[in-house]
Structure 1
Amino acid sequence: MRTGLLFLLFIITYNISFARESADKGTIKGKVLTTDGKPVDGASIQIKGIQGEFVSGEDGVFNVQQIRTGTHTLRVLLIGYAPATLEVTVKKDEVTQVTVQLEVTHQQLNEVTITAGYNKFNKKETDDIARLPIKNIENPQVYTIVTKEIIKEQLATDYNSIFKNIPGAGVPIVYNQGRSALLARGFVTANMIRNSISGFVYTNIDPANLEVLQAIKGPSGTLFNSSQISFGGLFNRVTKKPNEARKGEISYSAGSYNLNRLTFDVNSPLNEEKTVLLRVNGALHSEQSFQDAGFTRSLMLAPSLVYKVDDKLTLLLDVEASTFNATSPIRYAPAKNGKIKNIEDLGMDPKRSFTNNSLDYVTKQFNTFGQINYQINSQWKLQTNFTRTFSTTVGYVSQLIGISDSTLQPSIQKENFPYNGTEIQQNLIGDFKIGKLRNRIVVGFDFYNQRSDRNTPTALLPVINFKRPGAAYNNINADRVDSIAATAKYDIYRTNQSTYSVYASDVINITSKLNVMLSLRADRYVDRGTYRPAFDTASGAFSQNALSPKLGIVYEIVKDKVSMFGNYMNGFNNITGQNFEGTTFKPQQANQWEVGVKLDVLNHKLSSTISYYNIDVSNMTRVDLDHPDFNIQDGTQVSKGLEAEVIANPFSGFNIVAGYTYNDSKMTRSDKSIEGLRPASSGPEHLANFWMSYRLMRGAAKGLGFGIGGNYGSSSFQTNTATFVFNIPSYTIFDATVYYDKPTFRFGVKVDNLTNEKYWSPRLAPQMPTRVTANVTFRF
C-alpha cells in the first residue's frame, strides 16, 4: 500500500514537473536565404547547448519545436558560405520568426560535419592551391578535393583507398616501406606534401588524421618545392585542426582478413575564452594479408594545438607520430627471356606472398608542423610555416626477380634507413587595390633540407618454381636471409640536399569577371653528394639554378558560376651527372599549357571541371650512343590528355562524384629502345571513377543511406620497350556500402571489390579481393 502511494506521488510529481517544463517552451521558425534572396537547401542549424542539428528544406525553411524559453545562440552553416550567428529570444507558447542570410566565402568549413542533403562532396573552396583566397571558379589551375564526408561514407581504413575518388590516380604503387605513389597526368607522383609543405616520410600514412585530400594537377613548381612533386602534379594531405566546438567520436571497424581498427577524434577548448584549442586523433590498426603470409600493425597519435594570442596573432602546432610493423608488399620483375607477356597469363597464384612473417620491418615516423599567422591589417597577413620530418625503417624488404615463365628468385634487402627533413617557409599575403585593379598577392621564401643514411646489404635466395615451389617455399625466412647477408657487401652512405627558393604570385582582377595570375619562382639546389664514411669522401656533389614561371587567365562567363580558363605552368627536376665533355646537366623542365571550363551552378548543386592539357618535358637524359658510359641531355617526352570531373547533388540526399581521364604519353626523343613508345610509368590511357550515394532525409528511416561506386582502368604496361613488352590487363571494380547515420552514432557496412576482380598494381602486386568491413561510430 505504502509502495503504491509512493509510486502515485512520483507520477503526480513527474507530470507536474513535465507540464511546467512543457509550458515553458516555444518554437523557432526560420528561413535561410542567400544574400540575393534565394532559399538555401541543406543548411545546418546548430543551437548552443542543444545536442544535434536541424536542417533547412528546399524552400530554406527550418523549424525547431519544444525549445525552452529564453535567449539562444543559433549558428547556421553551409559549405561555400560564411557561417552566420544570431541571438534568438524564445517566448512561452509563441513562434519566433527569424531570417538568416548567408554570404559566399572562400573559406572551407572543414571543422563542420553536416549530415544534411546538400552537395557534401563539393568542398572546392580553399586557400591551399594558390596560397591565396581565390575561389575555384576564378582559379586557373585544376584540382580535386576528396572530402572527409566521402572518406567516412566509404569506410576508408587505409590511406591508399581514398585515391579511388581522384580522376586519373590509378591503382596505388606501394613501395617496400609502405609508402605509396599514384599517377597524375601520366607521371608517377609520390605522397610528399602535408599541409602544403614537406611531409614526406618513408612509411605508411594512416588516414585517421586526414581532413581532406587534395590532388593539384600539372607541374606546380612555382608555389611548391620541386623536389617534392612530379610533372603531373602533387597530392596534399590536409590534417585535422582544432576548432571551438567541444566534441569527439570513437570508431571501431572490423572486417575480412582479421581487420581490427580503433580510431578516436577528440576536440575541446582548454579555456572559457576559447583561445586555446586542442584536438587529438589516434588510430590502432591490425590486419592480416589476404595472401598466405603477411600482416600490418600500426599505432598513430596526432595531437594539434591552436593558441589565439589575440585578434591578430594565431599559433598552430600539429604533430603526427606513428609506428608501423608489416611484411614487405609484393614487387615482381618479369623475366625478359620469357614467352609470356601478360601478368594474367603467367599463372602466378595471387594468394602466394613469397615471403614469411619473420621477414618483417618496422618503420617509425615523427612529423611536426607549425604555423604562425599574423594579421598586420585588413590588407596584409604574415604566415610562417615550418616542418620537421623523421622516419626510419629497420628490417627486411623484398623483390621477386623473374628468371623464366615459371621460376623466380627472391631478393631480400636488410634495411636500416633513417630519413630527416626540414622546411621553413615565410609568406606575405596581401589583398589590395592599385587604382581600380584588385591584387591578391603572395610573396615568400622557402628553405628545404633532407638527409638520409643507408645501410643495406642484399641477400639473393635460391631460385624457386613459383607454380610448384614445394619445400623450397619454406626457405624464404629471416634465418636464411641473415645467413646470406652475413657475407654480403654492406653499402653504407649518406645523402644531403638543400633547396633555397623565393617566389611571388599575383592575381590581378582586370574586371570583375576577368583575372590574370602571374607567378615566378627562383630556385637554388645544392646536393652535397653521396658521402661514404669508410673513405671519408663524397662523390657526385653539384648545384643547379632554375626558374619556374606560371601564367593563368580566367574569364567568368557567368559571375561565380561559369568560367573559362587557360594556364601555362612550369615545373623542374634537378639532374645529377655530366656528359662526355664534362658539362653538368641542366634541370629537367616541364612546360604545360591547358584550357578548360569550370561550373558551379544551381546553388552549388552542380560543380564540374573539364580541361585539355599538354605537358612537354625537355632536358631528359638518354644514353650517348658514341660514348655508352655517358648520357646526353636532349631527350623529350610529351604527355597530353583530357580530364573531367563532376560533383552533383541532383536532389536532396542524393550525391554523385565522377571523373574520367584520357592520357596520351610518348617519348618523342630518347633511346631507340623506347623512342615513340608510351612509358610504362604513365599507367593506363583511360581511367574512370564514380561514387554515388543516397540518404533518406525524412520519415522513420531518416539517416539510412546507400552508396555504390566503381573504378575502371584500361590495359597498361609494366615494361614497354622495343625489345620487351609486359602487359597489365584492364580492370573494373565495384564497391558498395549501407549505413545508418544519426547525430550521436553511425553504423555502416562496406563491401570492396564486389565482383572479386583480379587486378594488379604497376609493380605487379595482386590487389585485394572481395573484402567486407563493418563499422560503428559513437559521437559525443
Structure 2
Amino acid sequence: MLLLLNVSANAQTTTGNIKGTVKTSDGKAAEFVNITLIETGQGATASQSGHYTIKNIKPGTYTLVASFVGLQTQTKQVTVIAGETVTTNFVLTEGGKELQEVYVKSAKHNKFLKKETEDVARLPLKNLENPQVYSVVTSELMKEQIVTSYVDGFKNIPGAGVPLVYNNGRTTLLSRGFVTANFVRNSVAGYNFNSVDPADIEKVEAIKGPSGTLFNSSLASFGGLFNRVTKKPFDSTRTEISYQTGSFDLNRLTADVNIPLNKEKTVLFRINTALHNEKSFQDAGFYRGVFVAPSLTYIVNDRLSVEVDAEIGNFNATSAYRLAPDPKGGINNIKDLDIDYKRSFGNNSLDYLSRQLDIYALVNYKISTTWKSQTMFNKTYSTTKGYVTQLSLAKDSLKQQATKQDYPYYITNIQQNFIGDFKIGHFRNRVVAGIEYYNQKSNWTNYTVILPNINYKNPGAAYNNFNADKVSALVAALPANANSYVQNNQSSYAAYVSDVFNITDRLNAMASIRIDRFDNKGAYTPADGKTTGNFKQTAWSPKFGLVYQLVKDQVSLFGNYMNGFNNATPTATSFDNSTFKPQYANQWEGGVKADIWDHKISATVSYYNISVTNTIMDDPAHPGFITQAGTQLSKGIEAEVIANPFEGFNIIGGFAYNDSKITKAAPKTNIEGLRPANSGPARLANLWLSYRIMHGEIKGLGFGVGGNYGSDSYQTNTTVFKFTIPSYTTVDATVFYDRPKYRLGFKLDNLTNEKYWSFRLAPQNPTRGTLSLSLKF
C-alpha cells in the first residue's frame, strides 16, 4: 500500500530527480565533489558518504558534471523523466589517498571526520539527521597514532576509559558507565573470546546508549556497543607493508595487499596480515600472534553484489594480570598497597593458545529504485585452551590461582534486511525491516587449583613455584567433578522495523520496534546428564527519536528514547530456582550536533539518563546464589569535537561525565545509593592535536600530541569496604614523515611514566616507544 501511494504521488509530479554516489577508484566515498547540470545550473555537493541528490528537474536530457579543484572533471549524459528518480554514479580515477591530498590542499578536508555511516541506523542517515550519538575512530587516525593494539584506538572515544583485559585476551571498555565488550563486527556478531588484531580495521564505531532495537542484545551493553568495520577490496592495485618495533621487544609486521582479479574489475580481492610478538614490561608475560584476513567482492551486475571475508587468527599468550584486594587488609588504595609494579607474580610457562575463525558474507540486491535487500551471514569459532591465572590478597600474603581451561565458542548469526527510501506524498520515508537469527554454543572445561600463599613484598624462592609443572600436578590430583565439563546452547529469534519520517526538510522523526524470542537450552553436564538454567523469554524493545535542523545541514537539535534489554543468565542461579526476568534499560537523551565552517568543525554535546530495572546481584541471604532485586540509574554529559581549524592542523577532543548509582538493592548487599565499581571513573577526557606540513620541501612532516585523563574510581565500592583506584593523566606524542611511497613514524606513549591501573588492578604500560616504517606500492 505504501509503495502504491508513493507511485501515485510521484506520478502527479511534473519534475524528476537525480541521485547517485561519487567514489574514488579504491572504493571510498568522494566527499565534497560538486555535481552540476550544465544546462540549468542546478547542482549538489556530495556528502561525506559520497551521496548527492538534485531535485525538481524538468524532464529532458542533460549533461551532468562531477568536478573538484585539482581533479579531472567527469561528465555523463542523463535523461530525466517526470515523477521518477534517475541514479547516476561517478567513480573518480584518483584513489582515496590522492583525493585526500587534494582535499587538504584546498583546506576543505577534516581528515579524521568520518561520521557518515549506514551502520548506526541501518539506513542512509547523516549524522545531523540521526537522533543517536556515536563516535568513529578511523584507520587514518590509528595509523597516525601508530596503534599496534586494537584497544589503543579507543583512547579517542569519549568515556571509553582504561581497557579491561580478560585472562584470554578478550577486551572490554566503558560506555556511559557500563562495561561494554567488543562483540560486533560489520554490524553482526563478531564474538571473539580472545584478542582482536587491528590490521584489518577500517574504522571503529562507538554507538552510544541501549541499542537493543537494531542490534542483538547479547552483543551490546546498556551503555552501547562497539562495531568494528573491516577493510574492503577496491578496484585498483595497491600494497602497503609496515614494520613496527620498540619497547618490550615489540616486533610487528603487517601487509595490506589489494588486487582486482579481472579486467572488468568486477572481482576484487584484498588481504591483510599481521605477525606480532611482544613481551610485557613486567618480569613475565608475552603475546605472540599470527593473523590473516582475506576479503573478496564480486560485482555481479549493477543490481547484485556479494562480499565475503574472513578473519583467521592464532595467538599464544600469558594471562592478563588480575588482582583482588583483601577487605580485611586495612588498605583501601592501590597506591598504598606497596606491591611491586613490575612484578607479574606469574610464569611464562602458564600460557594459553587462542584460535579464531570468522566467516562473514554480505549480499546486496537492488530490488527497485526505492528498495534493496541486504542479507548478512556470520559464522564464528573462537577458543582458548591452556592456563589462565588470577591473584588475590590476604593481608601481607598473595594467593595464586590457576585454571586449566578449554573453552570454544561457536556463533552463527543471520540477518535479512529490506531497506527502502521512498515518498508518501511529499514526505520522505527511510525504512529498514528485518529478521535475525543468533545462536551461541560453548563447551566449557575448567579445572581450578590454588597454590600456597606467598609474601608479595618478599616472596623469595616461592615466587618461581607458580609454573606449569606445579599447576599440572595439582590439576591431575583433583577429584572427579561433573561440573568440570559443561555444554551451553542458546538462541534468539528477532524481527524489527525502523522508519525515519521527514516531516519537513529540517524536521524528521524516528520510530522503531523490535521483538526478541530468547531460547536458552541451559547448561548440560554430560557426566550426570543434568540440564540447569534452561528457559524461554520474549522481550520488546522500542526506540523513538526527533531531529530538528536549526541551520540546514549545519546545526541540529535531537532527542531520543531508547530501550535495551539483557537476558539474565548468570553462572549462579536463584535460591528458589526461579527464572530471571530480562533486565531493561530505558534512555532519555537530548543534545545538539554541529557540522559547520565547511566541515572544519564537527561537534556533539548531549545529556542522557539511563534507568535499569530487574538488576541482578549477589543474594546475601543465600551465599552462592543470585537475586533480582535492584534498579540502577546512569546519567551524564558527553561532548566530542573533531576540528580542522586551519590547513594541516587537526583536533580530536572528548569529555564524559557519568553519575551512576544503584538506586535499589536487596537488603544487606551494602551497595544501595553507591556507584557501581565497574562503572569506572566519573570523569574521563581525551585530546589529540596533530599538525602536518602541507607545502615546501618537507611537506608530509607532522607532529602529534595528546593524552587521556580519568578521575578516581573503585575496584570495590560498598558501605563495608571501598578500594580506590587513583586518578590518572597520560600524555602521548608522535612525529611522522608521510610520503607517497613510504611513511616513517615514531610514537612515545605515557611520556610522564604515569602509574595507573585498570578496574582489575592490572598495572598499565609505563613509557613506551614505537618506531614504524611503511612502504607503499
TM-score tier, shorter chain, comes to: 0.7 to 0.9
Q: Does 1:112 align with 2:96?
A: yes
Corresponding residue for residue 584 of structure 2: 589
Does residue 393 of structure 1 match 2:377?
no
Distance in 1, Cα, partners of 2:284 & 2:236 = 44
Corresponding residue for residue 508 of structure 1: 501
Does residue 1:688 correspond to 2:712, yes or no? no
Pairing 1:421–2:411 present: yes
Question: Does structure 2 conserve the Cα–Cα contact (< 8 Å) formed by 1:80 and 1:106?
Answer: no
Aligned partner of 1:678 in structure 2 is: 675
Query: Residues 465, 230 of structure 1: CA spacing in aligned structure 2 closer, same or farther, 3 A cutoff?
Result: same
User: Is the contact made by 1:79 and 1:108 (CA closer than 8 Å) also made in structure 2?
Assistant: no
Structure 1: state its 5+ residue gaps: 1-43, 49-53, 61-75, 89-95
- What pairs with 1:431-442 in structure 2 (closer than 5 Å)? 431-442=421-432
For residue 579 of structure 1, report the CA deviation from its aligned partner. Answer: 6.3
Q: Tell me the residue number matched to 1:376.
A: 367
2:529 maps to 1:536: yes
- Out of 532, 549, 554, which is 2:547 matched to? 554
Distance change >3 Å, CA 106–CA 708, structure 1 → 2 = farther
Q: Which one of 137, 141, 145 corresponds to residue 146 of structure 1?
A: 137
* 1:443 paired residue number: 433
Query: Are the structure 2 counterparts of residues 336 and 440 from structure 1 closer, same or farther at C-alpha, using a change threshold of 3 Å?
Result: same
The equivalent residue for 1:571 is 564
Q: How does 1:291-310 map to 2 (within 5 A)?
A: 291-310=282-301
> Distance in 1 between the 2:706 and 2:240 partners?
26
Match among 212, 224, 237 for residue 215 of structure 2: 224
- How far apart in 1 are the matches of 2:202 and 2:767? 27
Residue of structure 1 equivalent to 2:731? 734
What is the alpha-carbon distance in structure 1 between the residues aligned to residue 625 and residue 734 of structure 2?
55
Alpha-carbon separation, structure 2, partners of 1:310 and 1:338? 69
Shift of residue 724 of structure 1?
Answer: 0.8
Query: What is the one-letter code of the residue matched to 1:690?
Result: L
Aligned to 2:467: 477
Amino acid at match of 1:112: G
Matched, 1:321 2:299: no
Show the counterpart of 1:610. 605
> How do 1:50-65 residues align onto structure 2 when only pairs under 5 Å count?
none
- What is the one-letter code of the residue matched to 1:766? P
* Structure-2 change in CA distance of 1:111 and 1:290 (3 Å): farther
Relative distance call for 1:101 and 1:739 in structure 2 (3 A) is farther
Partner amino acid, structure 1, of 2:214: L
Closer, same or farther: CA 544–108 of 1 in aligned 2, 3 Å? farther
**What SS class does the counterpart of residue 715 from structure 2 fall into?**
strand
Kindly provide the amino acid, as one letter, of the partner of residue 207 in structure 1. Answer: P
User: Percent identical across equivalent pairs?
Assistant: 57
Whole-Å separation in 1 of the counterparts to 2:488 and 2:306: 33
Using the TM superposition, name which of 576-585 and 361-370 deviates more: 576-585
Does residue 1:200 correspond to 2:200, yes or no?
no
User: How far apart, in 1, do the equivalents of 2:129 and 2:553 lie?
Assistant: 8
Q: Does 1:722 pair with 2:719?
A: yes
Match of 2:751 among 739, 754, 757: 754
Q: State the AA in 2 paired with 1:219.
A: P
Structure 1 residues 228-279: Cα deviation after superposition (integer angstroms, max 9, x where no partner): 1000000000000001121110000010111000000011110010100000
TM-score by length of 1: 0.87
Number of residue-to-residue matches in the alignment: 708
Q: Residue 389 of structure 2 aligns to which amino acid in structure 1?
A: S
Question: Is the contact between residue 151 and residue 163 of structure 2 (CA under 8 Å) also seen in structure 1?
Answer: yes
Instruction: Give the 5 Å matches for 1:123-134.
Output: 123-134=114-125
Does 2:496 align with 1:488? no
Q: CA deviation at 1:584?
A: 2.9
Cα distance change, pair 483–55 in 1 and its aligned pair in 2 (3 A): closer
Aligned-pair distance for 1:621? 3.1
CA deviations on 1:20-52 (whole Å, 9 max, x unpaired) are: xxxxxxxxxxxxxxxxxxxxxxxx99899xxxx
Inter-partner Cα distance in structure 1 for 2:658 and 2:50:
35
Can you list the C-alpha shifts for 1:437-488, whole angstroms capped at 9, x where unaligned? 1100000000000000011101101101111111000101100000111112
- In structure 1, how many angstroms separate the alpha carbons of the residues matched to 2:624 and 2:705? 54
> Alignment partner of 1:484: what SS?
helix
Q: Which has the larger radius of gyration?
A: 1
Equivalent AA in structure 1 for residue 429 of structure 2:
N
Distance 1:646 1:740, change over 3 A: same
User: What is the TM-score with the length of structure 2 in the denominator?
Assistant: 0.87
| Superposition deviation, residue 632 in structure 1 | 4.9
Shift of 1:403: 1.1
Seen in structure 2, the aligned counterparts of structure 1 residues 579 and 326 have a Cα distance that, compared at 3 Å, is closer
**8 Å Cα contact 1:106-1:127 kept in structure 2:** no
Return closer, same or farther for 1:336/1:83 CA change in 2, 3 Å cut-off.
Answer: same
Deviation of the 1:633 alpha carbon: 3.4
Show the 5 A alignment for 1:154-169: 154-169=145-160
Q: Which whole-Å CA distance do the structure 1 matches of 2:145 and 2:130 have between them? A: 29
**What is the distance in 2 between the residues matched to 1:241 and 1:137?**
26
- Residue 707 of structure 1 aligns with which residue? 704
Q: Distance in 2 between matches of 1:336 and 1:250?
A: 51
Distance 1:289 1:83, change over 3 A: farther
Which residue number in structure 2 is paired with residue 4 of structure 1?
none
What secondary structure sits across from 2:96 in the alignment? coil
**Residues 428 and 111 of structure 1: is their aligned pair in 2 closer, same or farther, counting only changes over 3 Å?**
farther
Distance 2:433 2:605 in 1: 30
Q: Which stretch shifts more, 568-577 or 455-464? A: 568-577
User: What is the CA deviation profile of residues 697-737 of structure 1, one whole-angstrom value per residue up to 9, with x for unaligned ones?
Assistant: 00111000000010000000000011111000000000000
- Residue of structure 2 equivalent to 1:18: none
The corresponding residue for 2:18 is none
Structure 1 distance, partners of 2:622, 2:254, is 58
SS of equivalent residue, structure 1 residue 389: strand
Task: Measure the CA separation in 2 of the matches of 1:772 and 1:101.
Answer: 50
Contact 2:533/2:573 (8 A) holds in 1: no
SS in structure 2 opposite 1:422? strand
Matched, 1:409 2:402: no
78-87 or 582-591: which moved more? 78-87
Cα distance between partner residues in 2 of 1:209 and 1:724:
43
What residue in structure 2 maps to residue 343 of structure 1?
334
CA contact (8 A) 1:80 1:108 kept: no
Amino acid at match of 1:444: G
Quote the offset at 1:630 in angstroms: 6.4
- Give the structure 2 partner of residue 357 of structure 1: 348
Deviation at 1:624, TM superposition (A): 6.4
Specify the code of the residue in structure 2 equivalent to 1:677. L
CA RMSD of aligned residues (A): 2.9
Shift of the 107–99 alpha-carbon distance from structure 1 to 2, 3 Å rule, reads closer
Aligned-pair CA distance for 1:108: 14
